[in-house]
Chain A
Amino acid sequence: MSTQIYQLHDEGTQATIQVFGKLDVTTCAQLKAAIDDIVAQVPNRWHSIVVNLQGLDLIDSSGVAAIVGLYKRVRGNGGQALVTGVRGQPLQVFQILRMDKVFGLS
């Protein structure tokens, strides 16, 4: 039984994807399918994508790769990408990988 780990919010020229719970090697596949759909609509439908990780408790390197992949592909399509709400264990992982500076995390 799999739990839905994300919600996508269409906010006009911006979309926000909220990720919840655990983003690891066992749950990444769910997010990757959504990422493909999101990227395909940048920049024609959405100029910017916000990845909100406020509800994320646990991330591993596969989850980080998924977030980085989304970030790079959105920007590669000419859109803006923002990662917000990172806290707890995911924040520490991003800090160790020095991504906090790239993403502008506190």
Chain B
Amino acid sequence: MRAIMSGAVVIQLSLPGRLQFCDVARRVIMESCKLVGAVDDEELAGSSPSSLPSAGLSGGLSDRYEFEDRFTLEFISAFSEIYNNIALHAYDGMAHGTIDFKVHIGSDRLIVEMSDMGKTFDIDAVPVPDELPTGGMGIYIARTMLDELEYQPGPPNRWRLAKYMASAQTAEPARESAVHE
């Protein structure tokens, strides 16, 4: 996996790799999206808590998903698909397993790294969905909504999801994803 940019704020999280925890992860990512461009390391180091931009959690969370901007909408769409891929397929049939997250919040980008100890798969073998698909759409949705989507089979399996603020107006598919070291 390529090096992450310096100066980014990093959130680390580990969740059980089950579908029931997808909303927990999504909320963290949604709030992280809001902080892109709003915080940096210097600001965090020199500020009192009351002057920091709010991640929006203090006011309570509703059950609704209300997207304030296209960047968040697109990132969450992609993230949901990758999360589901890990919970459903990588950990299919496994009683235990965690998904480890590192969320890098930058001045103009959000990068989420995810790792799991589940089954691997060949991401390059996933076909483009047909006109009215009833399955197999997740990777295509994620690639289209992100600027970069990388998958490195393990163990551990590693994902890297990246999106840049300037690109939130387009919906071109992400660059080729397999990373081979």
Contact = CB atoms under 8 A, between A and B. Distances in A.
Contacts of B67: 57, 88-89
Interface stretch (B5-13, B37-45, B135-143): B135-143
A65 B137 contact: yes
A71 B65 contact: no
Interface stretch (B91-99, B104-112, B125-133): B125-133
Contacts of B137: 61, 64-65, 97
Interface size class of A (residues with CB under 8 A): 20 to 34
Given A25-B19, A65-B137, A89-B73, A95 B66 contact: no
Q: Bin the interface of chain B by size.
A: 20 to 34
Interface in B123-181: 129, 131-138, 140-141, 144-145, 171
- What is the predominant secondary structure among interface residues of chain A facing chain B? helix
Contacts of B84: 24-25, 60-62
B86 to A, nearest CB: 12
16 contacts: A21-B64, A25-B22, A25-B84, A26-B23, A57-B64, A58-B65, A61-B84, A61-B135, A61-B137, A62-B84, A65-B133, A71-B132, A88-B73, A92-B77, A96-B140, A99-B132
Interface of A: 3, 21-22, 24-26, 57-58, 60-62, 64-65, 68-69, 71-72, 88-89, 92-93, 95-99, 102
